[in-house]
Amino acid sequence: MELKKYILREDEIPRQWYNILADVNLNPPLGPDGNPVSPDQLAPVFPMNLIEQEASTERWIDIPEEVLSVLNIWRPAPLVRAVALEKALDTPARIYYKNESLSPPGSHKPNTAVAQAYYNKAFGIKRVTTETGAGQWGSALAFACAQFGVECKIYMVRISFDQKPYRKIMMASWGGNCIPSPSNETKAGREALEKDPDTPGSLGIAISEAIEEAVADESGQTRYSLGSVLNHVLLHQTIIGLEAKKQMELAGDYPDIIIGCAGGGSNFAGLSFPFVLDKINGKQIEIYPVEPAGCPTLTKAPFVYDHGDTARYTPLLPMHSLGHAFVPPPFHAGGLRYHGMAPLVSQLVDEGLLEPKSVKQNAVFKAGILAARTEGILPAPETNHALATVIDEALKAKEEGKEKVILFNWSGHGLLDLTAYDSYLSGQIKDIVLSMDEIAECEKIYADFPKPQHLKHK
């Protein structure tokens, strides 16, 4: 019988994160005065131990034992050979996926949520605020905060709050307080509602609300936590790729192509960054971040300085951006409805080390259904973006007659996304493609901001 699952022992879990800032140059975040942001300026938002990680250029950073003890609930996560999917596609390609759907909240998000909850607790913080799109991040942070006795408040993008009611029940079960965004609880929320009372909301608005509430706490015991975009978040996710490298060795294979869905960049970076280092050192690998055609940040938006949130509370970040005021269309992959992209992912795209792709909604759900019927797991709508590209690459390998090795991140399950699947199965999913005219309109908002330098890796 052909082996199709590669599982590390518990004592083989990586004990350090890989920090790609040791190998990649990055434009600094800028403050209102146009100068690089100092650690002190970030102190009201994040605990200093995470600010230190955000700026660190050490290649390897130790994972605290307290974090490992919680990660061991589900890690190491299995690497799976998708034999049934290969057979259905009749492809010579060998397809592997890292199964991140097995965590308690059902996605890759707890890899950083656990670390952030721990570091906040260690710094003496009693309460964290955050945003969430589809609810995966909010669920993960509520779970993580429950492990360390930290209070958690979550601003959930309104369209997802309405589409995914069971996510907020998960958050409440772990003690999280989840409310729809925009809300009347913050200045940023009230302004968004005044502008458009029927707005579906956006991650940019929800981020503004969460940051505003955190910095307004005069006791100094509240901080903001986020599930993607910033360096320390992507750092914590590299446990995915580090495990995958060990498991690919067990399989006796090495990837020709690496694929992950990309909204803010966390699961994609988690799988790919340890392999990006190999590519920098000469390995021939194609690495594809995949995004929705309705929010084409990497494939159509320029590399600029822009704010990470709608109310402009964040520093200016060097990233591919559709503009901080952009409200993405209400498609079902709520975790990918973000106007910008992680600076590190943006930098690697700018250098040509990554090749971004975008896919339409119907192709996304078609891929998810095929994967569910072959591999047995119902994927999250976000994961389906990676799957659609995996299928395209596997069929291309068939056309070319090449035995390519494809590795992708199965970033989460879709068991709480059944309304989205119901819409697809009943023929109600519409393809949403952002036009270049719409993008040009979005770009006006940061036209006068500084421009990032085009850097090369170290």
Give me the chain's average pLDDT, please. 93
pLDDT in tens, 128-145: 999 998 788 999 999 999
Domain limit, last residue, from 214, 231, 248: 231
Is residue 256 a contact partner of residue 46, using CB atoms and an 8 Å limit? no
**pLDDT band at 311, cuts 50/70/90?**
confident
Domain limit, last residue, from 231, 252, 287: 231
Q: Based on the structure, what is the number of domains in the chain?
A: 2
**Residues 180, 97 share a domain:** no
Is residue 397 a contact partner of residue 403, using CB atoms and an 8 Å limit? yes
List, as one string, the DSSP characters of 157-175: EHHHHHH-HHHHHHHHHTT
**Residues 353, 312 share a domain:** yes
**Residues 226, 329 share a domain:** no
pLDDT at 447: 79
For residue 9, being part of any structural domain is answered with: no
pLDDT at 331: 63
List, as one string, the DSSP characters of 245-256: HHHHHHHT---S
Per-residue CA distances from 248 to 5, 96, 244, 254, 409 (Å): 11, 9, 6, 6, 13
Is residue 367 a contact partner of residue 346, using CB atoms and an 8 Å limit? no
Domain limit, last residue, from 231, 266, 285: 231
CATH of the domain at 320: 3.40.50.1100
**Residues 90, 186 share a domain:** no
**Residues 429, 286 share a domain:** yes
The stretch 178-187 carries a mean pLDDT of 94
Express as a percent the part of the chain with pLDDT over 70: 98
**Residues 246, 122 share a domain:** no
The stretch 329-344 carries a mean pLDDT of 79
**Residues 368, 440 share a domain:** yes
For residue 102, being part of any structural domain is answered with: yes
Residue 299 pLDDT > 50, yes or no? yes
**Residues 53, 124 share a domain:** yes
For residue 155, being part of any structural domain is answered with: yes
For the ranges 180-184, 275-279, 283-287, 448-452, which has the lowest average pLDDT?
448-452
**Residues 77, 37 share a domain:** no
**Residues 41, 183 share a domain:** yes
**Residues 441, 382 share a domain:** yes
Find residue 157's DSSP bridge partners. 181
pLDDT at 30: 94
CA angle 290, 250, 381 (to 5 degrees): 25
**pLDDT band at 1, cuts 50/70/90?**
very low
pLDDT at 194: 93
| Residue indicated by tokens 């100092």 | 38
Q: How far apart are CA 42 and CA 268, in angstroms?
A: 26
For residue 186, being part of any structural domain is answered with: yes
For residue 458, being part of any structural domain is answered with: no
Between 327 and 346, whose confidence is greater?
346
**176: Cα separation from own chain's centroid:** 20
For the ranges 3-7, 52-56, 136-140, 401-405, which has the lowest average pLDDT?
3-7
For residue 87, being part of any structural domain is answered with: yes
**Residues 20, 165 share a domain:** yes
**pLDDT band at 326, cuts 50/70/90?**
confident
The stretch 149-178 carries a mean pLDDT of 93
Between 440 and 103, whose confidence is greater?
103
Per-residue CA distances from 117 to 88, 152, 224, 287, 339 (Å): 42, 10, 11, 31, 26
For residue 247, being part of any structural domain is answered with: yes
Residue 261: domain span = 67-106+238-446
For residue 427, being part of any structural domain is answered with: yes
Q: Is the dihedral of CA 436, 439, 444, 447 positive or negative?
A: negative
CA angle 387, 389, 394 (to 5 degrees): 95
Which token pair is 98? Answer: 């890292």
pLDDT in tens, 28-70: 999 988 899 999 999 999 999 999 999 999 999 999 999 999 9
Q: How far apart are CA 214 and CA 246, in angstroms?
A: 39
Q: How far apart are CA 28 and CA 297, in angstroms?
A: 20
